[in-house]
A and B are shown apart, each in its own frame.
Chain A
Amino acid sequence: MRTDAPSVPAKGVAQAIPKPAPRRRSPALRRAFPYILLAPALAYLLVITLYPGLFAIYQSLFVVKFLTWEWTGFGNYSAILQDREFWAALGNTALIGAISLTLQTVIALAIAYFAYRDPFIRGWRIVYLMPMLFMPSAVAFIWKLAFNDGRVISDLLGRLGLIEGNIDWLGSIPLARLTLIVADVWQWTPFLFIIFVAALQGQDQEIEEAARLDGASWPSIFWNISLPMMRPVIVVAITLRGIDITTMFTNVFVMTQGTPGGATETMSYFIYRQGFRMFNFGYASAASVLMLILTVIIAQTVVKRAFHSGKK
């Protein structure tokens, strides 16, 4: 203790403290408080999700022609379930999504494996991030120009001696789908990469070191130790990415418009086309409701589990 410091604070100061009337919060208010904090956000989300959900269910029971609504009951649904275009859109979404997601995951894991211990990781990360930071509509134009309008891809493949002449990418079903997949993989592999690298960097170094002392090689450490430890992270990342892929719209809108013959029409584009190109709003709403049901099922199963395992 410093001897020159006043040994006891002046008592007079202590008495100057105003004594507020003690508060006693009612137990009801105490219990209600978290709900009060949540109320604005919940109200907002309910308006923007529950209302449209109910509206879509209601509207899906009508044939809507501009301003007239004509009751049809489940007419839209029975029509949709027999609509080959609907099933095609569902199949396209699943096929394009599955291939794209697989490619992204494999590429992201591979480059994350090579990058995370690299001294230049910060530089790599910024470079690899860049495609993700372009507006999706801009990315769609990049690839529309590269594949179709500018013929750059055909030209480059020709120079490598892989093909002769010019390929009409929108002329064939697999090639048209491929252009969508390339655009999606190019833009969104970074999303998975960033998460995988963070997970790898966050891993306990001691486990890796112990494995190395035990004589394990890097690939076997990665395969047998790092990858299993990353599992929850991989699940969360793939779930998030998978959900976004199933809503793919922008690339279809800009690049293919569903051509050729609907081979690249996704669910989102199907709903858009029915609603805002053909003005079959009741029909579009019925498709929305079906997609909503699918979403809820996926959310309740896959997502719930992913986000629980993602936590400690």
Chain B
Amino acid sequence: MASIHLQNIEKKYGAFVGVQNMSLEIADEEFLVLLGPSGCGKTTTMRMIAGLELPTGGKIVIGGEEMTEIDARDRDVAMVFQGYALYPNMSIYENIRFPLRMRGIPKAEHDARIRQAADMVELGSFLDRKPGALSGGQRQRAALARAVVRQPQVFLMDEPLSNLDAKLRQSMRVQIKHMQRQLKVTTVYVTHDQIEAMTLADRIVIMNKGAIQQVGTPDQIYSDPANTFVAGFIGSPPMNLIEGVAQNGRFVAPGVTAACPGYVQGRVTLGVRPEDCHVGGDNVQGMVYGVEPTGDTTYLTVLAGTKKIEVKAAREYRSDIDVPISITFDPAHLYFFGEDGQRIRGAA
């Protein structure tokens, strides 16, 4: 299979910069997820790896060969699309067979490989149907089978699950991860859904406005965010970001005070995850704004000054609104970000 190197790639559309000066190493057999809001350049990056779009600058190397200007058809990458992109006039069997035909694989091998691929995604009994006669989940599995059948160097998946309902998404997620581990094919997966990213990825690349914000394992991304963008994007509900002033080891914002390391000074942003906030104590003095029991937990929104702070409270916690409340932060899990949004770290 293959590793992928992106060297300073760049994509401009006239004056608009889609992807700027991006460098990334993707290891052989790795499952890499590109995560970010819509318009962040993640899909453009993937399409450049596929060869569907050419970068306006930089180099793309796949499996040790430079591919920057090679046609998509010759890159030996398989792609799974958000809308499945099954050929509507062909049966599922013909759909899965199409890449084999296009790549001149001997006809004698076709049938066995198609059936093997279809069995992998449990679609063996639907081979005669047209895509229109399948459900969304079945179509997505057919698209996976079409990608798997030719054993490409790289899988590219562009939001493959976003058209499915929540329940199906979960089971497909497991299936995709299982398949990737089994086939050991380098995979790049684009999504805006952080749950998908956290559950699937070996490493996550978080992008915003055409640039990489952070690269790391799901654990690193969650527990060691590099900047406010990453901190605010990951987690559900996301990290509370409270703007205030730090002076002499003390962070102060309307209704909020907290201890902070001495090297944190001036206008900063305090980050704290809802699960690191607890009812009681003295970090926050505010009013209850809302209480949302979800069954296994209860989310509490506290209004401190004009800022709403999310707290993950005990399951049985209940309260009326507009009642005074105080909150403490877990001092070991506080994050501070400078005015530029970057993490402030102590001298290592």
Q: Which residues of A contact B (CB under 8 A)?
A: 1-2, 5-9, 13-14, 16-25
How many angstroms between the C-alpha atoms of A1 and B70 in the bound complex? 36
**Contact residue among B67, B151, B175, B178 (Cβ-Cβ distance under 8 Å from A14):** B151
- Is the beta-carbon distance between A22 and B71 smaller than 8 angstroms? yes
How many angstroms between the C-alpha atoms of A14 and B183 in the bound complex? 11
Given contacts A2-B119, A18-B104, are A8 and B183 in contact (CB under 8 A)? yes
- Is the beta-carbon distance between A20 and B74 smaller than 8 angstroms? yes
28 contacts between A and B (CB under 8 A): A1-B120, A1-B122, A1-B175, A2-B122, A5-B120, A6-B119, A8-B182, A8-B183, A9-B113, A9-B151, A13-B109, A13-B113, A13-B151, A16-B105, A16-B109, A17-B105, A18-B103, A18-B104, A18-B105, A19-B76, A20-B103, A21-B74, A22-B67, A22-B71, A23-B71, A23-B73, A23-B74, A24-B69
- Give chain A nearest CB distance to B181 CB in angstroms: 10
A7: chain B residues at CB < 8 Å are 182
- Give chain A nearest CB distance to B76 CB in angstroms: 7
Q: Interface size of B by Cβ–Cβ distance < 8 Å?
A: 27
Q: Which residues of B contact A (CB under 8 A)?
A: 65, 67, 69-71, 73-76, 103-106, 109, 113, 116-117, 119-120, 122, 148, 150-151, 175, 178, 182-183
What residue of chain B has the Cβ atom nearest to residue A10's Cβ? B116
- Give chain B nearest CB distance to A181 CB in angstroms: 47
What residue of chain B has the Cβ atom nearest to residue A21's Cβ? B74
How many angstroms between the C-alpha atoms of A21 and B103 in the bound complex? 11
- Give chain B nearest CB distance to A260 CB in angstroms: 59
**Contact residue among B73, B120, B151 (Cβ-Cβ distance under 8 Å from A17):** B151
Q: Contacts A2-B119, A17-B150, A22-B71 given; 20 further ones with Cβ under 8 A? A: A1-B175, A2-B122, A8-B183, A9-B117, A9-B148, A9-B183, A16-B109, A17-B105, A18-B103, A18-B104, A18-B105, A19-B76, A20-B104, A22-B65, A22-B70, A22-B74, A22-B75, A23-B71, A24-B69, A24-B70
What residue of chain B has the Cβ atom nearest to residue A20's Cβ? B74
- In the A-B complex, the 7 residue pairs with the smallest Cβ-Cβ separation, listed nearest first, are A22-B74, A5-B119, A14-B151, A22-B70, A23-B71, A23-B74, A24-B69
